[in-house]
Structure 1
Amino acid sequence: MTIDRASLRWNGWGPAAQENVLPDGAPQWEWIRTTLGLSRLPATPARPLSEIRIPACRLDTPLLDRLRAIVGADQVKLDDYERAFHARGKSYHDLLYLRAGMLDMVPDAVVYPRSADETLALVKLAAEEDITLIPFGGGSSVVGGINAMPKSLGGAVITLDTTLMSRVIQIDKIAMTATVEAGIYGPALEAALQQHGVTLAHYPQSFEFSTLGGWIAARGAGQQSNRYGKAEKWLVSASLATPKGFWATEATPASAAGPNLNQLVAGSEGTLGVICEATVKIHVLPARKDYRGYLFKNFESGIEAARRINHADIPVAMVRLSDAPETHFFQAFSSTSSPTSLKARAQRAYLRLKGFDEAPCLMLIGHEGDADTVVWAQAQTQAICKKLGALALGTGPGHKWYHGRFHAPYSRDPMLDHGIGIDTLETSTRWSNITNLHNEVVAAIEGAMAANMPERGARGIVMAHVSHSYPDGASLYFTFVFPRQLDCEVEQWQAIKRAASDAILEHRGTISHHHGVGLDHAPWLAEEKGPVGYEVLKALKRELDPAGVLNPGKLIG
């Protein structure tokens, strides 16, 4: 089952009827104002679509008739809502344009194919007519990955929305694979799989509103990637519609017949072809789940615990470590009581008594599997944490996180309504460099924010966590909250993004661990891949898409 586009926010996150999680008068607002050093929080509502002029469609009637002949008249959308919804993704940068009503870059038409054959026909038409074609799944990209940017100034753009291709084609419980059309949303996919007692268990924060094809195209990671793997690990094979025809990658369990071409599909971001279906690895539904919290006295000891857990080959589903600012922020942000309340004072006194009052860092560890394995693994991870001085907090923090793990994006819209910017970026590096990279990126973001503040005394917050880890290293996920410079907010964001991205590459991180490249990271990709590697990517693009019509400007800038 797909999601009715009209039920979603075209310029924000989630359903249009979503309840405001931070209504006026909520206790968090005063805490946010004082923490950011602001004299007041301005009112900065988004412009309604009814007040915005959408550019006229640049496609002529014969071309529109050809589109309708392929997918049917009802599946070619020209209305303002569909075009606005498909104009950009869901990054902070995108929302600045959408909320301001700056819709000069919108698709001329949105088409909804219902099969791989229809998709291939659309791809070939776009190549033949030299019209930009943007593959679009859930639209949750936060790096400008699906923005309706034409291949040349003034050129026409068609967005191809895959979400009507949402069938589960086959579930093979002997090989433990499933073949699924790429436009299926996360909840629908899991519901279909779990009816058969199996799961993909890919749960990114965007899970409710993102699709299988998007996860593969961005090389995404779910919150339980320690156990179930990133997209490039669980992808078995894929079928893509390209201007050269259908391209199906190999599906054998292992092969020495040259490089594995699935690794070219994962992370291709719609630039090489439109992913129509994929075969993925599945797992038996876990009989038991155990998520619990530990408090470390500092970030470094938590990093060491995460490293030891990975090196001990303990079967964990998740190891998530927040640094001190993130631990403090989310504790304060989620609290409904005053910091001077009896409960809050008692908690601080207890932590002070235990020596955790300076810069405590929260770690959440999750285990999933059969009951005996989960019990054994939980005992092993707890022993490592306690050996490094951690305070065991029990299952309460884990339960709270697990049941609210998709909620964070819902806070962004009300914060934007009050002049507050919030954005994220992520990277990964080796264990020996984690602390250094963390410190350097935090310093870069803090410096850029301090140089771009709307009033004297205003300040931003930078926080980070480790959320995906491996034997050789781990990811770092940064969140920064700041007062917006309302007269130059795009330039403010660009300065922060540029400083952070430069620091990441300078200090041996990757420009993206799981968000992808899109438009926002494209300027740094050539340096990361190196001149030879970058030329290989460009040659592959030229071979599969010689006219350059598929998602131009993304990945290979």
Structure 2
Amino acid sequence: MTIDRTTLRWNGWGPVKQENPLPADAPQWAWIEEALGVSRLPSTPAVALHDIRLPHSRLSEDVLGKLRSICGDNQVRADDYERAFHARGKSYHDLLYLRAGKLDMAPDAVVYPRSADEVLAIVKLCAEEDIALIPFGGGSSVVGGVNAMPKSLGGAVLTLDTTLMTRIIQIDKVSMTARIEAGIYGPHLEEQLQSHGVTLGHYPQSFPLSTLGGWIAARGAGQQSNRYGKAEKWLVSAKLATPKGFWTTEATPASAAGPNLNQLVAGSEGTLGVIVEATVKIHDLPERKDYRGYLFKTFAQGVEAARRINHAEIPVAMVRLSDAPETYFFQALSSSGSGGLKSKLQRMYLKMKGFDDAPCLMLIGHEGSKETVVWAQEQTEAICKRLGALALGTGPGKRWYHGRFNGPAVRDPMMDRGLGVETLETSTRWSNIANLHDKVVGAITDAIAANVPEQNARGIVMAHVSHSYPDGASLYFTFVFPRQLDREVEQWQAIKRAASDTIEMNGGTISHHHGVGADHVPWLGEEKGEIGMSILRATKREMDPKGVMNPGKVLG
């Protein structure tokens, strides 16, 4: 079971026929114009595929014939739609090119293998023919991780799509592990696991349109990572098809036999080989789930609550804290704009409780046995109340849980109206959270102000803590801004550079869970150090001597 590619947007997010969350007559547009300080929002529709001329394929008929002999005629695609769909990922930067019809970076063909043996044969053929090979799962990368980049100027590019490899090979309920093919989409994976009473528990925002192999390749994090862990935590073992043959990493529960090589696979982003299957940790389905909201008067109080919850070792599934701008933005975006008695009464009540300035919303989720969830919820609520939080009950938690995968769909209508919508994330120590938050918000705000189409225009910059640990937490930034339509890519580069330089100079990682891809390459060396980079380069040379595996990513 997989997703029919033709039902998806090749230059946007989600199904072609999905409902527009911000139609042209939505009342939120007037608020957005006012918030951004623009006189009007222009119409900037995407170019239709039939109006685009793709570059001529650089793959010879001989090579195409060999590919067909490996996996069948129908599994080798070179039509415009397949090439366009696999040209880039889903970052804002990618969409600037895709929506403008700039498809110079498109694969020469796309191949859909159905087994690990077929993948290995394709990998070896690309190595023999010196063809760049791009592993592709759901294609949801937001850092340029699946872009069809050649090895060198004019070189051929083949994209290998794993999404016909969807089997759950084995579920071991004694050891609580599952062995699964890497091309399976999130919903199908969970449907199959939950039919056996177990779950992986990995729910990134891209969950409906991303795959197991992609989660591992990018070192991804699900929204409930406090309970279930990031990809590098739940990965037990991986099998890769490499130019040198199959490589399967160790699968023991623990070992002192040298470094754990799973940590080379998680985050390798297809540069060492194609992940064809993985053994992962699974959990019994939780007996109870409890998600609820708390309102803090300041972001600092919310951060302190998250820190105390982690240090108390309370078994939470999620602690998510929005800063004041994000709390306000998503409240305004979800509002009908009609005001009314209910919203007035809410504002009066919050003012009476001392929350009339700039409150911050925290969502806390618990999953597990009934007894554990009840106890943990009592403990977290006590910590929040001691820090002055207002308990909002389960309503905000239920609303978030119901719509937790819908956020990316808002970007397309915004881009149709001349707006940029971008995200980036990092992590740092608890003692540095406030400093890094303020410095990055300031850097993005200033960079937007220096690159806007109108004199009084500005951006909306917001952030949240979404994954936390005993020693620190992640910070996830979202910003909306009016595009400079005559220099969109340059505008993005200026903002991205300012934010990334600030992260690097202020004790943050260049990526917490999005990966490196092509976009973060300039900052990786500073983080890893000279010796660390030499180790990564040596591994790449040993695994992929000709450099055909996903060139231009991670190491540049």
Superposition TM-score, scaled by structure 2 size: 1.00
User: Is the contact made by 1:511 and 1:521 (CA closer than 8 Å) also made in structure 2?
Assistant: yes
| Number of the residue aligned with 1:79 | 79
| Number of the residue aligned with 2:180 | 180
Distance in 1 separating the partners of 2:195 and 2:344: 47
Provide the aligned length of Structure 1 versus Structure 2.
556
Q: Report SS of the residue matched to 1:553.
A: coil
- Map 1:185-196 onto structure 2 (within 5 A): 185-196=185-196
- Map 1:100-249 onto structure 2 (within 5 A): 100-249=100-249
| Number of the residue aligned with 1:546 | 545
The share of aligned pairs that are identical, in percent, is: 78
Shift, 1:343, TM fit: 2.5
User: Is the contact made by 1:338 and 1:344 (CA closer than 8 Å) also made in structure 2?
Assistant: no
Shift, 1:502, TM fit: 0.2
User: Is the contact made by 2:28 and 2:337 (CA closer than 8 Å) also made in structure 1?
Assistant: no
User: Is the contact made by 2:143 and 2:514 (CA closer than 8 Å) also made in structure 1?
Assistant: yes
Letter in 2 for 1:180: I
Shift, 1:345, TM fit: 2.3
Distance in 2 separating the partners of 1:35 and 1:347: 22
| Number of the residue aligned with 2:294 | 294
- 2:394 corresponds to 1:395: yes
| Number of the residue aligned with 2:281 | 281
Distance in 1 separating the partners of 2:58 and 2:306: 54
| Number of the residue aligned with 1:479 | 478
Structure 2 residue runs of 5 or longer lacking an equivalent are none
Shift, 1:342, TM fit: 2.8
Structure 1 residue runs of 5 or longer lacking an equivalent are none
Distance in 1 separating the partners of 2:60 and 2:140: 30
Shift, 1:185, TM fit: 0.2
User: Is the contact made by 1:70 and 1:122 (CA closer than 8 Å) also made in structure 2?
Assistant: yes
User: Is the contact made by 1:135 and 1:159 (CA closer than 8 Å) also made in structure 2?
Assistant: yes
Shift, 1:17, TM fit: 1.1
| Number of the residue aligned with 1:257 | 257
Shift, 1:21, TM fit: 1.2
Letter in 2 for 1:494: Q
User: Is the contact made by 1:46 and 1:100 (CA closer than 8 Å) also made in structure 2?
Assistant: yes
Letter in 1 for 2:364: I
Letter in 2 for 1:489: E
Deviations along 1:28-58, one digit per CA (max 9) or x if unpaired, are 1111111111111100000000000011111
User: Is the contact made by 1:204 and 1:223 (CA closer than 8 Å) also made in structure 2?
Assistant: yes
Shift, 1:351, TM fit: 1.0
Q: Report SS of the residue matched to 1:264.
A: helix
Distance in 2 separating the partners of 1:518 and 1:345: 46
User: Is the contact made by 1:228 and 1:234 (CA closer than 8 Å) also made in structure 2?
Assistant: yes
Shift, 1:293, TM fit: 0.1
User: Is the contact made by 1:459 and 1:483 (CA closer than 8 Å) also made in structure 2?
Assistant: yes
- Map 1:331-350 onto structure 2 (within 5 A): 331-339=331-339, 341-350=340-349
- 2:21 corresponds to 1:31: no
Deviations along 1:122-141, one digit per CA (max 9) or x if unpaired, are 00000111000000000000
Distance in 1 separating the partners of 2:381 and 2:344: 28
Superposition TM-score, scaled by structure 1 size: 0.99
| Number of the residue aligned with 1:434 | 433
| Number of the residue aligned with 2:413 | 414
Q: Report SS of the residue matched to 2:13.
A: coil
Distance in 1 separating the partners of 2:260 and 2:437: 33
Distance in 2 separating the partners of 1:170 and 1:385: 42
- Map 1:417-496 onto structure 2 (within 5 A): 417-496=416-495
| Number of the residue aligned with 1:15 | 15
Distance in 2 separating the partners of 1:72 and 1:412: 37
User: Is the contact made by 2:90 and 2:142 (CA closer than 8 Å) also made in structure 1?
Assistant: yes
Distance in 2 separating the partners of 1:436 and 1:27: 36
Shift, 1:357, TM fit: 1.1
Deviations along 1:330-373, one digit per CA (max 9) or x if unpaired, are 0111011434x333222222111111111200000000000010
- Map 1:47-62 onto structure 2 (within 5 A): 47-62=47-62
Distance in 2 separating the partners of 1:526 and 1:310: 31
User: Is the contact made by 1:86 and 1:139 (CA closer than 8 Å) also made in structure 2?
Assistant: yes
| Number of the residue aligned with 2:518 | 519
| Number of the residue aligned with 1:323 | 323
Shift, 1:456, TM fit: 1.5
Q: Report SS of the residue matched to 2:96.
A: helix
